[in-house]
Chains A and B, each alone.
Chain A
């Protein structure tokens, strides 16, 4: 499965990249929203892990643009956000997300399990 990581913070990006690579996923990375969208359009991934808080194009704008695109709207998205942003999470849930990561509460092993579940459902379809 190919996963696209859209994450502004270099360390968070590298950590997730390594964790996912260790679990044999193919990982592409984008360090801002604009690059992220370009990467999705160039070569649609199976899953996107998207940071919500970014300078320039933020997570919401990216989600909205994806939903408006017939070819891309069904790509599952896991959003990454901070605690205390419950309104943002609710807004994102309305647009439709496959899962969410609360940065300060994330358990990386749990995340891998979540991704496996998404992978299984993708294969079923």
Chain B
């Protein structure tokens, strides 16, 4: 460039000697030439930038196309602007062009997209839900984890990025695991029953007289076997919850009656640990709630047994029951070992046991509260707790009072 300028300057100087017109023409030509050169340079740069942008775009598209998640970009009207092959393969006929179709109008010939539409629908009609993260089953054993995020928010157009993560394999493994536990537990029950019956017969003297020493040993074996049976039952209940076949047979009942049954069933345990149990409730009968008797007994029993287990001998447990607006609130308070603060958020997790609980009671499946929580939630109720290590724990649950029309049994 610099050399060119110098050359131009020299030519100009010569032109001055040949007259003014010539100078002007030459100078103008020269200017045009420079402009043209600059223009070509710009064009070249633009072309290069365009190529670069194209390359970047292709790279991004390549990445999107090869992602193992389905990706869709929707415009303001929920119409598809961009999709990758995985997204379209989830939806249907291969290579069908989905561009411009509304996500709510798309159907699949082999899958049921209604749950997807349902999950995406916001409160306003046809308005998509943002910041959604939900697991859905779209039939044919296909499970998706759907995430939706607002996209290009600074632009005028408000777009949505939809990510469909296929979790079918995870679900399959999960269900195989659950099934395995369930089968193992079922299979274990018959031999455990046989052991139980055998020891009973030995203890009853059906097989012949036994010595005091033999009796003591058999008694211990019997108790061990009983714990194993309880553990198997806990496992089976937990697998039932996971398989989703924990069905509830709800009938309008008095919750206080269920509590009394559980207290009666737990009397031996209370006496053994010399724990004083009080049950405080209003004298007038409370409103009925819709209850699955068997399951509610299990939930309350788990809460009461936990209170007994983790309260030192001679301690106190109080159960309160009261009626609030539209609901019954159950409360069970103990002055036991409490739950350490750093472990409180895991207390309803399957197989979790507090560190101090394990020290105090080595036996325990870690399934009691998990099961109780699922039972209360299955009754449209809520469960929560307050606890301080070394002072005690209060567990609460609430159940909605049955509406009049559901009281007809």
| A64–B298 alpha-carbon span in the complex (Å) | 32
Query: Could you tell me which residues of chain A, from 1 to 17, have a CB within 8 Å of some CB in chain B?
Result: 9, 11-12, 15-16
Q: Across the interface, which residues of B come within 8 angstroms of A74, CB to CB?
A: none
The answer to whether residues A84 and B196 also contact, given A15-B201, A22-B206, A108-B201 and a CB cut-off of 8 A, is no
Residue in B190, B197, B232 with the greatest tally of chain A CB atoms within 10 Å? B197
Asked if B5 lies at the interface with its beta carbon under 8 angstroms from chain A, I say no
The reply to whether A107 and B200 contact each other, CB–CB distance below 8 Å, is yes
Q: Which of B233-241, B348-356, B380-388, B397-405 lies at the binding interface?
A: B233-241
Taking the closest CB of chain B, its distance from the CB of A44, in whole angstroms, is 27
The reply to whether B233 and A15 contact each other, CB–CB distance below 8 Å, is no
Q: Across the interface, which residues of A come within 8 angstroms of B47, CB to CB?
A: none
Q: Across the interface, which residues of A come within 8 angstroms of B207, CB to CB?
A: 18
Q: Across the interface, which residues of B come within 8 angstroms of A108, CB to CB?
A: 197, 200-201, 204
| A108–B192 alpha-carbon span in the complex (Å) | 15
The reply to whether A12 and B194 contact each other, CB–CB distance below 8 Å, is yes
The reply to whether A103 and B237 contact each other, CB–CB distance below 8 Å, is no
Taking the closest CB of chain A, its distance from the CB of B190, in whole angstroms, is 5
| A97–B400 alpha-carbon span in the complex (Å) | 36
Q: Across the interface, which residues of A come within 8 angstroms of B51, CB to CB?
A: none
Asked if B214 lies at the interface with its beta carbon under 8 angstroms from chain A, I say no
Asked if A93 lies at the interface with its beta carbon under 8 angstroms from chain B, I say no
Q: Across the interface, which residues of B come within 8 angstroms of A18, CB to CB?
A: 201, 206-207
Asked if A82 lies at the interface with its beta carbon under 8 angstroms from chain B, I say yes
Query: Could you tell me which residues of chain B, from 212 to 263, have a CB within 8 Å of some CB in chain A?
Result: 229, 232-233, 236-237, 240
The answer to whether residues A19 and B193 also contact, given A84-B233, A84-B236 and a CB cut-off of 8 A, is no
Contact partner of B189 among A16, A82, A107, A109, CB < 8 A?
A82
| A50–B27 alpha-carbon span in the complex (Å) | 117
Contact partner of A104 among B196, B206, B240, CB < 8 A?
B196
Q: What count of chain B residues pass the 8 Å CB interface test? A: 22
The reply to whether B194 and A9 contact each other, CB–CB distance below 8 Å, is yes
The answer to whether residues A104 and B229 also contact, given A12-B194, A15-B197, A22-B206 and a CB cut-off of 8 A, is yes
| A64–B201 alpha-carbon span in the complex (Å) | 33
| A12–B191 alpha-carbon span in the complex (Å) | 9
Majority secondary structure, A binding face:
helix
The answer to whether residues A82 and B197 also contact, given A22-B206, A104-B229 and a CB cut-off of 8 A, is no
Asked if B198 lies at the interface with its beta carbon under 8 angstroms from chain A, I say yes
The reply to whether B186 and A82 contact each other, CB–CB distance below 8 Å, is yes
Query: Could you tell me which residues of chain A, from 101 to 121, have a CB within 8 Å of some CB in chain B?
Result: 103-104, 106-109
Asked if A86 lies at the interface with its beta carbon under 8 angstroms from chain B, I say yes
Asked if A83 lies at the interface with its beta carbon under 8 angstroms from chain B, I say yes
| A16–B236 alpha-carbon span in the complex (Å) | 26
| A107–B193 alpha-carbon span in the complex (Å) | 11
The reply to whether B294 and A104 contact each other, CB–CB distance below 8 Å, is no
| A106–B200 alpha-carbon span in the complex (Å) | 10
The reply to whether B236 and A104 contact each other, CB–CB distance below 8 Å, is no
The reply to whether A106 and B190 contact each other, CB–CB distance below 8 Å, is no
| A35–B211 alpha-carbon span in the complex (Å) | 40
Contact partner of A106 among B193, B204, B294, CB < 8 A?
B193
The reply to whether A19 and B237 contact each other, CB–CB distance below 8 Å, is no
The reply to whether B193 and A109 contact each other, CB–CB distance below 8 Å, is no
Contact partner of B194 among A15, A22, A84, A109, CB < 8 A?
A15
Q: Mark B119-148, 1 if CB is under 8 A from A, else 0.
A: 000000000000000000000000000000
Taking the closest CB of chain A, its distance from the CB of B244, in whole angstroms, is 15
Taking the closest CB of chain B, its distance from the CB of A78, in whole angstroms, is 15
Taking the closest CB of chain A, its distance from the CB of B215, in whole angstroms, is 16
The reply to whether A15 and B198 contact each other, CB–CB distance below 8 Å, is yes
The answer to whether residues A12 and B197 also contact, given A19-B206, A82-B186, A109-B204 and a CB cut-off of 8 A, is yes
| A109–B205 alpha-carbon span in the complex (Å) | 11
| A120–B277 alpha-carbon span in the complex (Å) | 41
Q: Across the interface, which residues of B come within 8 angstroms of A12, CB to CB?
A: 190, 193-194, 197
- A/B interface sample: 7 pairs, CB < 8 A: A11-B198, A12-B193, A19-B201, A84-B233, A104-B192, A104-B229, A109-B200
6 smallest beta-carbon distances between A and B, as pairs: A103-B193, A11-B194, A15-B197, A104-B229, A108-B200, A104-B193
Report which A residues bind B (CB closer than 8 A). Answer: 9, 11-12, 15-16, 18-19, 22, 82-84, 86, 103-104, 106-109
Q: Told that A11-B198, A104-B196 touch, could you supply 14 new A-B pairs with CB distance under 8 A?
A: A9-B194, A12-B193, A16-B197, A18-B201, A18-B207, A83-B233, A84-B236, A104-B189, A104-B192, A104-B229, A104-B233, A108-B201, A108-B204, A109-B204
